[in-house]
Amino acid sequence: MQQTVVVKIGSSSLTSDEGGLNRDKLGFFASELSKLQHQGFQVLLVTSGAVAAGFREMGYVSRPKNVHEQQAAASVGQALLMQAYHVAFAAHQVGVAQILLTRYDFSNRRRIHNASMTIEELLKHRIVPIINENDTVAVDELKELKFGDNDKLSALVANLVRACRLVILTDTDGLYTEDPRKNANAKRIDRVTEIDEEMYRIAGGSGSSVGTGGMRSKIEAARIAMRGGVPVFVGRVAEDGDLDLAVRGTGKGTYFDTSEHNLPMKKQWLGFHSLPQGRITVDQGAETALVVGGRSLLPAGIQEVSGDFHPGDVVEVVNSDQQIIGRGVVNYSTWQLQAVAGLSSEEVQKRIEVQRIEVIHRDEWITLTAGKQINE
């Protein structure tokens, strides 16, 4: 079977702080990606840079902060971006296609299935799908409905196509013990096997005025991809052949290894694509049963319920310290659960009629605590 590589290129690698595309850099990346394809890899590109490429044409002096200005700049820049990629890849006899996705598309199983089928068809024809967030329609006010930066989008795409590696290219050669722009003595971390809280602490925000996510969002992307069984490289590609080295394991950057196996599609959807409709707080006993014991959630372990959900919806589960421990498909509605929270299963059955006694069945649950996942 052919191996698939997903490469994400950030705004900082394609444009300058003053805005506008750097066609030399873009041409270089197209050449590196084409080489990978010629070697037999299936290649997908997740690209940022629409806002950065378009804001100058709109007459703005710097990257706009206002949402509608950003959306307008993105719609100008996206066309410029695709035009430039089309020309740059054509020089290597490689065809390209544009795919614009939103967070909402991932949360809807039919839409993401359609996107996945389209991608498969393009790859079969050796066309490189070039993916960006659909900035014009992405809703910024509702943070959970917008990716913002493309790091997380690239991780979701890598999991979707079951990539053999996700390569996140940026303007620094990997994750350092501190932002290297702020501390020249910071040391690069070459290999990461587990993402813990310390990792989030050292990863700062964006260092340039065109990038948005910084290293923090790359760590979050790496966590999602690792959960999906996809190893990740975060770093820089500056010279001929660098991308090949990055894919093969000897690039200039940080490698995030994973011992996880590909998560089943259903669990991926639950953990990373679905949009929770409510929140359930559980006690210590229920937390252990879910996270360590691999058991279902029963009404007895529930302390608090909020949101507006119905049987079949996805809810987020938090422990008594309000830390997220996972997500699952709920078998109760909000009012039903509020009426029986904390009660024994026997008592619940006397009071209300439910299809299944489990609030969340173990097969419809995913643990999302940082570190090693015990229960799949």
In the complex, the residues that contact ligand VHF under the rule CB under 6 A are 10-12, 48-52, 74, 132-133, 135, 149-151, 211-213
215 in a labelled binding site: yes
Binding to ligand ADP by residue 212, rule CB under 6 A?
yes
Cβ neighbours around 204 below 10 Å, total:
15
319 in a labelled binding site: no
Which whole-number Å values give the CA distances from 91 to 88, 133, 286, in the listed order? 6, 26, 59
Residue 203 binding: pick among ligand ADP, ligand VHF, none (C-beta 5-8 Å cut-off by kind)? ligand ADP
Nearest C-alpha neighbor of 5 from the set 44, 46, 31? 44
Candidate list 27, 204, 293, 307; residue touching ligand ADP; CB under 6 A = 204
Residue 102 binding: pick among ligand VHF, ligand ADP, none (C-beta 5-8 Å cut-off by kind)? none
Residue 132 binding: pick among ligand VHF, ligand ADP, none (C-beta 5-8 Å cut-off by kind)? ligand VHF
Yes or no: say if 202 and 178 are a contact pair by the CB < 8 Å rule: yes
Question: Taking CB under 6 A as the criterion, which residues in 88-147 touch ligand ADP?
Answer: none
Contacts of 71 (CB under 8 A, 6+ apart): 135, 136
Q: How far is the CB of 78 from ligand ADP (least distance, A)?
A: 16
Q: Which residue has the tokens 């196996």?
A: 261
Q: How far is the CB of 182 from ligand ADP (least distance, A)?
A: 8
Q: How far is the CB of 19 from ligand ADP (least distance, A)?
A: 13
Yes or no: say if 219 and 191 are a contact pair by the CB < 8 Å rule: no
Positive or negative torsion for Cα 65, 68, 69, 75 = positive
Cβ neighbours around 338 below 10 Å, total:
13
Question: Taking CB under 6 A as the criterion, which residues in 139-198 touch ligand ADP?
Answer: 149, 170-172, 175-176, 178-181
214 in a labelled binding site: yes
Edge-first strand listing for the sheet containing 252-256? 95-101, 127-133, 42-47, 4-9, 165-169, 232-236, 252-256, 191-192
Interface positions with ligand ADP (CB under 6 A): 10-13, 48, 149, 170-172, 175-176, 178-181, 202-204, 206-208, 211-215
Residues contributing to the annotated binding site for substrate: 48, 135, 150
